[in-house]
């Protein structure tokens, strides 16, 4: 079937002007490429901001911890003179409680049991002291090696600067003598003015270089003074630990004397603290009858404390062994400087006592922060503290 159009045309003539506009209209191209580039730029900027924000400090909480020493009832008896509460400070040799045997026929057995317990506590105290001495010796060795390396490096710099100054001085003297000879030849008419000027310029340049070398030598000599304050501090701490008497020698002798008195009658036996510490737990009341081996009191040392902190796993990479950490004690605005210990990094469950401070953290990475509180600043083991670990972006 063939369709014939009017006036010999090949297409249907438009009936309205709108049909003509629709026929010649072109589809607008959308700027897809520009939109994709813009989205990529926004993603890159966002990723950069996120990455930089991850370089900030790590903020978390932890619990003050210390070496705990339980004090057991060495035999079955009645507790007396127990006037302790959690948080009380006790001194070395202070009586924690007394125990009166309820089995007079077994006095010798009770004596032996108490002596064994005192010996065990002495061994634990000696072992802890030896560990502290070993750590202090390790720190002294590390600082001494760094100190000697710094001294050698500074001395080498002085010697190098001195040799360079001597070499340039010799060069200057040679150039000065040559310039003087050329000047004499010029006076005799055996040299031209340009020769004199060239020789004088060479001498002045050599003099300038020599003066620069002299300045470099003086600077090297001034810098050849190494600060050994950190090394001296570590040495003093090591000497203090080595010269200090074992914490429990007096308590051991006193306990043996008291047992000698107890041989004839069931007199009360005093159990005394082996060191300065803080009472953490009281497991009995005054007048209570306890069986042998029951923990009556637990005391934490005051000179070997640390913080057990917990950080989110995605921030653990910002925590490095030996890095600085800041410990904020309750009620104290100024932080105490500490360091990240080497036994950090294991994934553990966050203690219930920290759940309100770290509500979104069920499992965290354990971080141990060693620190030494300033003199006169009370620190109670078990208290909650805030920890700030500066990151590389700080």
pLDDT in tens, the chain (394 residues): 455 555 555 566 665 665 555 555 555 555 667 777 888 888 777 665 555 555 568 899 999 988 888 999 988 889 999 888 887 888 888 999 998 887 655 556 666 676 777 778 778 878 888 888 888 888 888 878 887 888 888 888 889 989 998 999 999 899 999 989 988 888 888 888 888 899 889 889 988 988 888 888 888 777 766 567 766 777 777 787 777 655 445 555 555 555 554 554 567 888 999 888 888 889 998 989 999 889 999 998 877 789 999 999 888 888 888 889 999 998 888 999 999 987 677 888 999 989 898 988 889 999 999 998 887 787 888 889 999 988 655 5
**Residue pair 97/85 in contact by the 8 Å Cβ criterion:** no
pTM over 0.85: no
Q: Which helix (H) or strand (E) holds 71?
A: strand 58-72
The reported pLDDT for the residue numbered 251 is: 54
The reported pLDDT for the residue numbered 16 is: 63
Which SS3 state, helix, strand or coil, does residue 147 take?
A: helix
Q: Encoding tokens for residue 151?
A: 């001294």
Mark 39-60 as b/e (b = at least 16 C-beta within 10 Å): eeeeeeeeeeeeeeeeeebbeb
Q: Which of 252, 250, 255, 248 has its CA nearest to residue 277?
A: 248
C-alpha–C-alpha distance, residues 160 and 220, integer Å = 9
Q: How many C-beta atoms lie closer than 10 Å to residue 9's C-beta?
A: 9
**What is the number of residues in the chain?**
394
Q: Rounded to whole angstroms, what are the CA distances from 203 to 185, 195, 305? A: 16, 12, 68
CB-based contacts of 217, cutoff 8 Å, min separation 6: 158, 161, 162, 164, 165
| 357, burial (CB in 10 Å: exposed 0-12, middle 13-18, buried 19+) | middle
360: left (phi over 0), alpha (psi -120 to 50) or beta: alpha
C-alpha–C-alpha distance, residues 91 and 274, integer Å = 8
């Amino acid at each position: 079937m063939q369709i014939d159009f009017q006036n010999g045309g090949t297409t249907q003539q438009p009936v309205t002007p709108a049909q003509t506009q629709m026929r010649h209209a072109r589809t607008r191209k959308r700027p897809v490429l520009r939109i994709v580039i813009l989205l990529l730029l926004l993603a890159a900027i966002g990723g950069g901001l996120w990455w930089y924000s991850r370089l900030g400090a790590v903020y978390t909480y932890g619990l003050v911890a210390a070496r705990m020493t339980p004090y057991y009832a060495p035999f079955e008896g009645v507790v007396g003179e127990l006037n302790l509460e959690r948080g009380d400070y006790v001194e070395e040799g202070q009586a924690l409680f007394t125990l009166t045997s309820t089995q007079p026929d077994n006095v010798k057995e009770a004596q032996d049991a108490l002596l064994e317990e005192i010996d065990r506590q002495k061994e634990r105290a000696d072992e802890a002291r030896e560990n502290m001495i070993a750590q202090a010796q390790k720190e002294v060795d590390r600082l001494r090696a760094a100190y000697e390396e710094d001294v050698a490096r500074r001395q080498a710099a002085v010697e190098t600067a001195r040799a360079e100054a001597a070499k340039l001085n010799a060069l200057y003297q040679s150039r000065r003598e040559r310039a003087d000879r050329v000047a004499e030849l010029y006076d005799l008419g055996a040299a031209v003015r340009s020769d004199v000027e060239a020789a004088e310029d060479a001498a002045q340049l050599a003099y300038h270089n020599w003066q620069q070398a002299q300045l470099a030598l003086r600077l090297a000599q001034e810098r050849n003074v190494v600060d050994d304050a950190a090394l001296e501090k570590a040495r003093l701490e090591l000497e203090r630990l080595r010269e200090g008497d074992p914490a429990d020698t007096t308590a051991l002798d006193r306990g043996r004397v008291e047992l000698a008195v107890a041989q004839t009658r069931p007199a009360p036996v005093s159990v005394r603290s082996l060191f300065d510490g803080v009472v953490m737990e009281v497991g009995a009341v005054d007048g209570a009858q306890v069986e042998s081996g029951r923990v009556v009191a637990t005391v934490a040392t005051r000179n070997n404390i640390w913080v057990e902190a917990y950080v989110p796993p995605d921030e653990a990479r910002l925590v490095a062994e030996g890095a600085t950490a800041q410990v904020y004690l309750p009620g104290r605005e100024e932080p105490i400087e500490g360091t990240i210990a080497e036994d950090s990094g294991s994934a553990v469950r966050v203690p219930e006592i920290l759940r309100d401070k770290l509500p979104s953290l069920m499992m965290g990475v354990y971080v141990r922060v060693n620190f030494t509180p300033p003199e006169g600043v009370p620190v109670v083991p078990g208290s909650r503290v805030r920890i700030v670990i500066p990151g590389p972006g700080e």
